[in-house]
Structure 1
Amino acid sequence: MSEQELKLHVPAASRQAVLREIKQREATRIRLHAMYFDTPERELARARIAIRLRQEGRDWVQTLKMPGINAITRIELNHPRPGPVLDLSVYAGTEVEAALSAIKGELGLRYETDVQRLLRKVRTRYGTVELAYDTGILRAGALELPISELEFELVSGRPAAIFAAARGWQQRHALVLDPRSKSERGDALAQLAQRLADADAIPGEDLEARRAQAIAQFWAPRGAAAVKLREDMTPSQAMARIAAECLDQIARNASVLAEVDTEDAYRAGNSEHVHQLRVGVRRLRSAWKLFDGWIAPVSEGLLQGVRTHFAAFGANRDQDVLNETVAPALMRAGMPVIPMEAAPPEQDARSIAGGKAFQAWLLDLLEWSLDVPPAVPSSGGQPIANGTPSDTAPEPAIRLDGGVAGPSVRPTIIPMLAPEPDPQRLRKQLARRLHRWHGKVADQGTQFATLDIPARHELRKRGKRLRYSLAFAESLLPAGKLRGYRKLLSRVQDILGEINDLAVAKDYYESCTATHPQAWFALGWISARLEELAEDAQRAFDDLAASKPFWK
């Protein structure tokens, strides 16, 4: 069977209020002790399967879980057990038999959870939802992580019921979206426990450094992952898959910045989490541009949220680049020390990531991504987005008298047989659009030396859009031709990225000259470096313009 659920982290400051609200109506309390199993090589986790034995009050239940068709759907197989005995024979003849039969290692206990759960049902206009407020501990070896989460599981009705219920709780209690399941967190904690044990087994003065590295890796930033599209997908299906990947990158980095696991005991979030979160947002915006005209227009609320939150995180990112990249480079070049007096952003990254506005936007984005609406055909039969036709304009309608119909007459003729579907339609659509984008970037790039600062900034954004969109379509395009092109495009982006960082730093040091004369050193060094980069950028764009076509 499948279940649909959404999980939100409850911050420490909100737990008493959530508990009071849960208890306002009749709620059921139950203790849950679960043991999760896998092989030493994590064969189940690699197959995206979780198997547990859980004591629910006096009863024992064996459960297997796997991801479903989208971010809120899980496949779940439950079997009552007489005690804490794992029985794999119950999966004979099921869809997981082949995967479990392929396991080579011996199953053993990897991690466990000990949870107090409060259950209560709520009704919305879309259906009934069960709330489960879990508090407790996730344990792997000697390591523990806190569990404090509110789950919204659909009992009956439409998935919209989950979001209708979750939005109110999220806004009242500043809850945080956490895409990870308990099993994913437990598997990661078990890996950390093993890495720490391995580090302790090797004597040496660098033991603490090795332990610190292993701990930092546990909360490593979540980078972009590959997206595999199929040629038979509709644009809406392809966009949904891409949006799910982008959202996962955004939400996972946001949850670390919001201190979901650490709660001030350890500062896990850093500048790279901010950077990767913003990369996820850029990728999403690029995908919206890539599919413009093929899906229904994105709501103004989602678009405005992108603009607002991207800018807020950007202020943090600019300061991080200045402190961690540009200033050290200037110091190595011999610049006298300048006290850093840059005004801090209005909000730090942690406040933004855990804030109600950003988290509400994530919920809206998640609900949209589950069912991306297709473009609404115009009266001429072609999809319309944002009031403009897509790549191909509709043919004029034919009047009965043989002339061309005026704007008020657009008869539609339905053929006797529907046209055969083109299994390569998605690939052709994407290749055609990427080809056009490449032409615009290459044409403008060959004139890079003559462009002013705003034009260079716009060119940088066009190049990023092309790069991210190319990655989305990569599974449908010739791999051999893409390899060389990606290198050329990455080279362009690296140069333009450094130019942008230096331009931001230049503005800062210009503001420092009145109080810190040594800032003139920085301005001279930055100006010289910008001249070098401009020449590098011109050569890189010339190479890109001369590259072989990847879209054929």
Structure 2
Amino acid sequence: MAIETELNLSLTPGVASRLAKHPLLTAAKPIRQRVVNTYYDTADQRLRRERVIVRHGRQGATSLSSIRREAPPQDRQAGHDEWELVGAPGEIDFSQVKDGTLRHLLESVRAELRPAFIASFTRSAWLLAPREDVRIELALDRGWIEAEGRRQAICEIRLELLSGGVADLFSTASELQADLSLHPEAASKLLRGYRILAAEQWPVVKALPIEINTGMSAIAAFRTIGLACLKHLQSNEQGLRESDNPEFVHQARVAIRRLRSAIRVWKPLLPQDFVSSFDPLWQALARQLGETRNWDVFLAETLPSIVAAFPLPEGVAIARLSNYAQRRCAINRQAARSALKTDDYSRLLLEFTAAILALPEGEARPLEAFVPRCLDKRAKQVRQLAAQALCGDATARHRLRVAYKRLRYAIEFFASLFPGERLRNYHLSASGLQEMLGRLNDLAVASELIHEALPGEQGEGIRCWLEGQTEQLLPELGRLLDDFHQQAAPWRTPAA
């Protein structure tokens, strides 16, 4: 969702029919118009790859074309360039586009441009004045996106800030959300149109690199990272709701884990009520997704190894274990889907976004002073826990894994500040250690799940086998830890 001057929120048709009766709207009269936006591209979608949008729109009696170039997805600060031009795409005078490189691209594909998809909808717009000196336009769009004979419904509202502050925008959205089920919309009409055009399923989205720089304050960097984590989460929520692909659960969980790691990294600089209000809510959602992920991994990765290792007569117990795991997978997946469909989740997204944008800069502490101290602290925790993990139990190894993940996420957050060979070597070493800690954790979790599925003596043989697998991996864990500790910290100069 765009958050500088507007918010996009999806709603069901039933909720949309009640929108006009909300107290914020009853004093305003809506203006209704028919809107038809045709998006153009080449047959091979050259403009999409170049992040260029060519659109011809008809709104009521007005007809206008627009050219827009989006910033790279990882560079939220860059904004975009846009030009409004008279005429349909085949007749546009591209000389009015001031960006020479973009103008040359448009001229080179002019003959190949064709309608890619159409968004046609009825827009009902209200001008809201919730407070003095605050003006917000609320537009309800209901209609369809159509491409290649396929179409998808549009039912969403856009809140655009005309005067006032960003806090006023979110306050108005919260007032509406208190009475209506509204969900922050992550996918634009443009993105949905291209997916319909290609008959694409929702893709699994991994975390993108985050661009921060030394000119930022520490709080500004946290804001950038926090919003990137939210985007990562929301990019996978539709797939989680509609698909059985376990990777959607995994990536949603990773997004929340990264977000909570960022909160921990910046905790000394954040208001206490910010941390105490939001971290428990994200933790509860992460726990729900974590239970689903545990059974996904067990069913897809651990159970096949158990089946191969235990022929008859243990086959009856293995069959019972397999059936139980499949039932638990289905139950937990449905619970995860339900969690992402609740009004509580929608409110959490909106309220957290509002809170992160409203964070005070305070003393505007520079990143140069904040980063080394932060990373040194986390690297020290990993070193302290490493020895305990090698001679301890699964709990000790779990503590190391958690500490390591916090260090790795923090390094990824700040990676753009110290690029180079040392960072690459550090990551290569860290990747092997991460994989090993993950395998050991999967074995420990599997033992707990088997105890649930086959209590008592029923699963004793399988649990003993899992312990043997763990013992075989521990020497390799020691070697990986030695290699990791020998890597130079990329956030420290050689002289330091």
Q: Report which stretch shifted further, 165-174 or 226-235.
A: 165-174
Partner of 1:165: 172
2:161 maps to 1:154:
yes
Counterpart secondary structure, 2:290: helix
2:112 maps to 1:109:
no
Change (3 A) 1:333 1:29: farther
**C-alpha deviation, 1:226, in angstroms:** 0.5
Change (3 A) 1:84 1:448: closer
- Conservation of the 8 A alpha-carbon contact between 1:40 and 1:105: no
- Letter of the structure 1 residue corresponding to residue 450 of structure 2: Y
TM alignment of 1:100-499, pairs within 5 A: 100-103=103-106, 104-106=108-110, 107-125=113-131, 127-190=134-197, 192-193=198-199, 215=200, 218-258=201-241, 267-268=242-243, 270-294=245-269, 296-297=271-272, 298-334=274-310, 336-338=318-320, 339-340=323-324, 344-345=331-332, 348-375=335-362, 426-427=367-368, 429-499=370-440
- Conservation of the 8 A alpha-carbon contact between 1:502 and 1:530: yes
TM, length-normalised to structure 2: 0.84
Which of 467, 482, 489 matches 1:549? Answer: 489
Cα shift readout 1:327-381 (whole Å, capped 9, x = no counterpart): 233223335312316664496111111211111111122223435432459xxxx
Change (3 A) 1:3 1:528: closer
- Letter of the structure 1 residue corresponding to residue 295 of structure 2: Q
Structure 2: how far apart are the matches of 1:353 and 1:88?
46
Partner of 1:393: none
- Conservation of the 8 A alpha-carbon contact between 1:177 and 1:255: no
Counterpart secondary structure, 1:36: strand
Change (3 A) 1:183 1:301: same
**C-alpha deviation, 1:280, in angstroms:** 0.9
Which of 34, 39, 45 matches 2:37? Answer: 34
Counterpart secondary structure, 2:5: strand
- Conservation of the 8 A alpha-carbon contact between 1:445 and 1:542: no
Q: Report which stretch shifted further, 366-375 or 538-547.
A: 366-375
**C-alpha deviation, 1:467, in angstroms:** 0.9
2:61 maps to 1:58:
yes
- Letter of the structure 1 residue corresponding to residue 131 of structure 2: R
Cα shift readout 1:215-238 (whole Å, capped 9, x = no counterpart): 4xx312211100122222221222
Partner of 1:11: 12
- Letter of the structure 1 residue corresponding to residue 479 of structure 2: R
Cα shift readout 1:89-140 (whole Å, capped 9, x = no counterpart): 37344xx454233444343322211112221222323722211111221122
Cα shift readout 1:260-298 (whole Å, capped 9, x = no counterpart): xxxxxxx33632111111111111222223334455553
**C-alpha deviation, 1:479, in angstroms:** 1.7
**C-alpha deviation, 1:35, in angstroms:** 0.7
**C-alpha deviation, 1:512, in angstroms:** 3.4
Counterpart secondary structure, 1:340: helix
Counterpart secondary structure, 1:105: helix
Structure 2: how far apart are the matches of 1:373 and 1:3?
17
Change (3 A) 1:237 1:86: farther
- Conservation of the 8 A alpha-carbon contact between 2:385 and 2:399: no
Change (3 A) 1:240 1:91: farther
Structure 2: how far apart are the matches of 1:271 and 1:174?
27
- Letter of the structure 2 residue corresponding to residue 281 of structure 1: I
Counterpart secondary structure, 1:348: helix
- Conservation of the 8 A alpha-carbon contact between 2:140 and 2:157: yes
Structure 2: how far apart are the matches of 1:172 and 1:142?
36
Cα shift readout 1:172-214 (whole Å, capped 9, x = no counterpart): 3332222222112223333x25xxxxxxxxxxxxxxxxxxxxx
Counterpart secondary structure, 1:155: strand
- Letter of the structure 2 residue corresponding to residue 525 of structure 1: W
- Conservation of the 8 A alpha-carbon contact between 2:422 and 2:488: yes
> Sequence identity of aligned pairs in percent?
25
- Letter of the structure 2 residue corresponding to residue 36 of structure 1: Y
Change (3 A) 1:166 1:87: same
Q: CA RMSD in A?
A: 3.1
- Letter of the structure 1 residue corresponding to residue 5 of structure 2: Q
Q: Which has the higher helix share?
A: 2
Structure 2: how far apart are the matches of 1:72 and 1:229?
12
Structure 1: how far apart are the matches of 2:481 and 2:194?
45
Change (3 A) 1:135 1:97: farther
Cα shift readout 1:2-49 (whole Å, capped 9, x = no counterpart): 972111121356344346659855222221111112334544334433
Counterpart secondary structure, 2:205: coil
Partner of 1:526: 466
- Conservation of the 8 A alpha-carbon contact between 1:290 and 1:433: yes
- Letter of the structure 2 residue corresponding to residue 533 of structure 1: L
Structure 2: how far apart are the matches of 1:430 and 1:3?
27
**C-alpha deviation, 1:74, in angstroms:** 7.0
Partner of 1:508: 449
- Conservation of the 8 A alpha-carbon contact between 2:388 and 2:396: no
Structure 1: gaps spanning 5 or more residues:
194-214, 259-266, 378-382, 384-424
Counterpart secondary structure, 1:337: helix
Counterpart secondary structure, 1:238: helix
Structure 2: how far apart are the matches of 1:348 and 1:3?
33
Q: Report which stretch shifted further, 23-32 or 275-284.
A: 23-32
- Conservation of the 8 A alpha-carbon contact between 1:443 and 1:545: no
Structure 1: how far apart are the matches of 2:413 and 2:275?
22
- Conservation of the 8 A alpha-carbon contact between 2:6 and 2:159: yes
Structure 2: how far apart are the matches of 1:283 and 1:241?
13
Query: How many residues get paired?
Result: 469
- Letter of the structure 2 residue corresponding to residue 49 of structure 1: V
- Letter of the structure 1 residue corresponding to residue 319 of structure 2: V
- Conservation of the 8 A alpha-carbon contact between 2:86 and 2:92: no
Cα shift readout 1:138-183 (whole Å, capped 9, x = no counterpart): 1222332222211111122112222122223334333222222211
Structure 1: how far apart are the matches of 2:490 and 2:95?
50
Partner of 1:210: none
Structure 2: how far apart are the matches of 1:438 and 1:514?
39
**C-alpha deviation, 1:88, in angstroms:** 4.1
**C-alpha deviation, 1:427, in angstroms:** 4.3
- Letter of the structure 2 residue corresponding to residue 249 of structure 1: H
